Chain A
Amino acid sequence: MREISCKLLVIGAGPGGYVCAIRAGQLGIDTVVVEANKLGGTCLNIGCIPSKALIHAADEFERVTHFASGKSPLGISLGTPQFDLARTMQWKDGIVGRLSGGVSGLLKKASVKIVEGWARFLDGKTVEVETEIGRQIVRSEHVVIATGSHAVELPGLPFGGPVISSTEALSLKAVPHNLVVVGAGYIGLELGTAFAKLGAAVTVIEALPRILPQYDAELTRPVSERLHELGITVLTGARAKELTQAKDGLIVEQSDGSLMTIETDRILVAIGHKPATEGWGLEEIDLDMDGPFIDIDDRCRTSMRGVYAIGDVTGEPMLAHRASAQGEMVADIVAGKRRAWDRACIPAICFTDPEVVIAGLTPEDAKAANIEIVTDAFPLRANGRAMTLASDSGFVRMVARADNHLLLGIQGVGVGISELSAAFSLAIEMGARLEDVAGTIFAHPTLSEGMLDAALKTLGQPIHI
């Protein structure tokens, strides 16, 4: 049995773990990262990146299909387009491979030692790793738990056979004829929309009364409309019960309590993720928990000295960029710098059609926090660039304090609006006021002008509406 010692041990090389390890390595900390699967974690291998590749392919295919229908006002027409999912997957796998290789290169450049295998705590400073070449013991002064999360199964609908998670959906060999998506959260809607664009007959089932239940109705309305346009059936207030006997359909309990059967060849269950807290010896170190998550403080410290936790295993929002920011902070802390979590906002994006961005507080959040606000939205149908892109649904919305106009939140929905998320979170993080946004020159003609116009409108001085 081999044994190594280090100053920092990172368990999990997802967007939290690898960022932590790279930063630590750059700071001269003797760092080891353990990963059982592929470098890059869920995000890079079976999440953000491959899903965006598939969504892009689906968007392109839908575009040319639209052209082929002869209905495009752009005056483009073409013959019947063909789609080969296997080639798309190959292309997607190429991207994932390149990025994963990139992470490996960055870790090596930062002099981080990579141990491939399954880690298990023996005590708070010692981890045993099952590697291909046998057991290895890693002793470390500091340990970062970055084990991430797993897709949640539905009782009565365990994964297997026609029931798949997003992981399998992202490596299907062929587009299913019928697809039922259980869960109208962002993962279900992103993938459901993509497969619908690729030709599948898609039904989305959501137990709550509306889609994207974490977002307000105003933001999700353009998405709802588009789902309808794409021919996707959305059943809200409905619950997936079980497979039919022949496993060729799903029995669904509708909002009125009646049962219906939906014939389908694939069922994508996307009802959320749960923290990966099993199988790596959490019981050996007995950390304080916060519900199902590992409890952390504002420095990502757990209840055991020298043990930190970052990313999905520490709770919502389960987002790659939150994990990365935490990872970087922990590396700094281990290097002896003074750091604490003080970020003003963690933006979140749904790559639905159209895309949804939220940064900071929504009007409802502000109301719940008893803050007097001013808020208004600027519709993209009044934005020239949106019109020239032939996609003018959606809006940009500002939420600011009523007393000093300090920006508390910016949200938006619209095609391509994900790229505006940077401006949204930068404005909030910098402590901008509505007047700061209004006083900034936004290049014309761009979608981002929607942000300027939204600020002007919220100040009661709109130009373009």
Chain B
Amino acid sequence: MAEHVIRLPDVGEGIAEAELVEWQVKVGDLVRADTTLAAVMTDKATVEIPSPMDGEIIWLGAEIGDKVAVGSDLVRLKVAGEKDSASTAQPQARAALADAPRAAPATKTHPTTDAEQRSARPVISPRQAPRTAPSATPRSGAFAGAVRPVASPAVRLRAREAGFDLRQIPGTGPAGRITHEDLDAFAARDPRVARSQTLQPKSAVEDVKVIGLRRRIAEQMATAHARIPHITYVEEVDVTALEDLRESLNRRKRKEQPRLTLLPFLMRAMVSAVAKQPRLNALYDDEAGVIHQHAGVHIGVATQTPTGLLVPVVRHVEALNLWDCAAEIARLAETARTGSATREDLSGSTITLTSLGAMGGVVSTPIINHPEVAIVGVNKIMMRPVWNGSGFVPRKMMNLSSSFDHRVIDGWDAATFVQDIKALLETPALIFASD
């Protein structure tokens, strides 16, 4: 029997490493050629790694969540034959699940050269457990008598199990010794410790690895929040007329037409508003110092899925009517939720719309979908009393909470943009008039 090493293939587009998100086999499994061994996720897509031949898995080269360098050993197979061998598996792109941080379409791309890829050493980054002190164990019989809290071993154990830091606990004993009574007193003040007999404090900590889509989201959010100085602008919109119109359209719609939600109206209003303020429908490449203003309006629609937040993209909204928009939103939401969205479905937006529907709250502070420059957040519709000049009347009111990249969007422009949308939504006929 010989050993066959399967290496992580080049998963494309100048990617030097990929995150292992799934093992479909374990050591000892017998596999056939083309059996899927693992799935790795890059910035762009999830890729399945099939086995190139029949064999028995004898070694797995990474743990879920590890970043694996292209070209490094991923799996070792026991195979028939005499000679040890190695190969690079043929990747099979799976439906992309990642809301990929995109390179601006208009920026130049710099394909990674082979040399650069090779220079990225094929090393599986070891996942080190967090370590309190690199070498805190006393190396000799001595101890730092000056700094450690004085307490008997039993008190120390009790404190550790309760999760108390002895340095935080005043000792009332001789020489400042911390007694069991001191622990009791500290525990009594500690809000984590329940005072009732039936309610017990829990000290278990579950470690959940941040991997896959969650890691992507975390990275994307961190980038957006760290790089973009957000300005959030909130305005209320009277949607009474819009809601009447929407209900009326839904009553009259043909069977094959989708039900209209508020989103298609908003999207059409955004198209009109960005026509006046093209700078808002843009991708800002802050390294190159260039704002790429797009003529086409590609609206990302933030969507909650079982695995996390995805942003499918309705492309060329400027060329879609209300019903087209509604149909496209319905299709994308479905593919995102079932995990069958393609990379195209999930990339290329130029401005983003986020709505939690009835869960929308009164105000939100949306994070811009970097490198875009604007995001429109939709809060819930509430019946509120509105002064019409002579009396209070019940009106369906809704807030829009929108964030802008303040580096390139001034407050005035942001306000103008939102006011335009407000005007269109409050007099919905204008949405069609501007078509």
Contacts and interface: CB of A to CB of B under 8 A. Distances in A.
A361 B160 contact: no
A231 interface: no
A436 B174 CA distance: 9
A2 interface: no
A14 to B, nearest CB: 18
A290 B134 CA distance: 10
A211 B140 CA distance: 19
A337 B161 contact: yes
* Contact count band on B: 35 or more
A340 B140 CA distance: 17
Contacts of A292: none
B175 A431 contact: yes
Given A361-B143, A369-B145, A123 B59 contact: yes
B152 A429 contact: yes
Contact of B144 (A314, A315, A369): A369
B129 interface: yes
B134 A295 contact: yes
Given A297-B134, A340-B160, A315 B139 contact: yes
B153 A298 contact: no
A347 interface: yes
A316 B143 CA distance: 13
B19 to A, nearest CB: 17
A96 B153 CA distance: 32
B134 A431 contact: no
Contacts of A423: none
B391 interface: no
B148 interface: yes
Q: Which 9 A-B pairs have the closest CB atoms?
A: A298-B136, A431-B150, A404-B175, A406-B175, A408-B145, A346-B141, A297-B131, A431-B177, A430-B152
* Contact count band on A: 35 or more
Contacts of B156: 342
Nearest to B203: A338
B135 interface: yes
A316 B139 contact: yes
Contacts of A369: 142, 144-146
Given A303-B126, A369-B144, A295 B135 contact: yes
A122 B175 CA distance: 51
B138 A290 contact: no
Contacts of A122: 59
19 contacts: A297-B134, A298-B133, A315-B137, A340-B160, A342-B160, A343-B153, A344-B148, A346-B140, A346-B141, A347-B141, A358-B141, A360-B145, A361-B143, A366-B145, A371-B145, A401-B145, A404-B175, A406-B150, A431-B173
A305 interface: yes
A300 interface: yes
B126 to A, nearest CB: 6
Nearest to A339: B160
A176 B177 CA distance: 54
A148 B135 CA distance: 19
A341 B139 CA distance: 12
B208 to A, nearest CB: 15
Contact of B143 (A303, A315, A326, A360): A360
A333 to B, nearest CB: 11
A431 B137 contact: no
Contacts of B153: 343, 429-430
Given A404-B174, A431-B151, A305 B127 contact: yes
A361 B145 CA distance: 8
A54 to B, nearest CB: 25
A122, A338, A365, A401 — most chain B CB neighbours (10 Å): A338
Given A337-B161, A338-B161, A401 B175 contact: yes
Interface in A315-368: 315-317, 326, 337-348, 358-361, 365-366
A365 B142 contact: yes
Contacts of A232: none
Interface string B148-192: 101111001000110100000000011111000000000000000
B128 interface: yes
B132 interface: yes
Interface string A232-270: 000000000000000000000000000000000000000
B73 to A, nearest CB: 11
B174 A433 contact: yes
A305 B163 contact: no
Interface of A: 122-123, 139, 290, 295-301, 303-305, 314-317, 326, 337-348, 358-361, 365-366, 369-371, 401, 404-406, 408, 429-431, 433, 435-436
Given A298-B136, A338-B163, A339-B160, A344 B175 contact: no
A353 to B, nearest CB: 22
B136 A431 contact: no
B152 to A, nearest CB: 5
Nearest to A429: B153
B136, B141, B148 — most chain A CB neighbours (10 Å): B141
Interface string B110-137: 0000000000000000111101111111
Nearest to B142: A365
Contacts of B161: 337-338
Contacts of B128: 303-305
Nearest to B144: A369
A359 B145 CA distance: 12
Given A406-B175, A431-B177, A297 B140 contact: no
A405 B132 contact: no
A297 B135 contact: yes
Nearest to B205: A338
Contact of B146 (A303, A346, A371): A371
B133 A304 contact: no
Contacts of A431: 150-152, 173, 175, 177
Contact of B135 (A290, A339, A346, A405): A290
B133 A406 contact: no
B129 A361 contact: no
Contacts of B127: 305
Contacts of B134: 295, 297
Nearest to A366: B145
Contacts of A316: 139-140
A337 to B, nearest CB: 7
A340 B132 contact: yes
A341 B136 contact: yes
B390 to A, nearest CB: 69
Contacts of A429: 152-153
B58 to A, nearest CB: 9
A408 B146 CA distance: 9
A182 to B, nearest CB: 24
Contacts of B160: 338-340, 342
Given A296-B135, A343-B153, A361-B142, 4 more contacts: A360-B143, A361-B145, A404-B175, A435-B174
A342 B159 CA distance: 12
Given A297-B133, A433-B175, A343 B145 contact: no
Given A305-B128, A338-B160, A360 B142 contact: yes
Contacts of A314: 137
B138 A346 contact: yes
B412 to A, nearest CB: 53
A341 B148 CA distance: 12
A349 B136 CA distance: 24
A431 B175 CA distance: 8
Contacts of B146: 369-371
Interface string B270-294: 0000000000000000000000000
Nearest to A336: B204
Contacts of A123: 59
A317 B141 CA distance: 7
A424 to B, nearest CB: 11
A364 to B, nearest CB: 10
Interface string B19-36: 000000001000000000
Given A371-B145, A404-B174, A433-B175, A298 B137 contact: yes
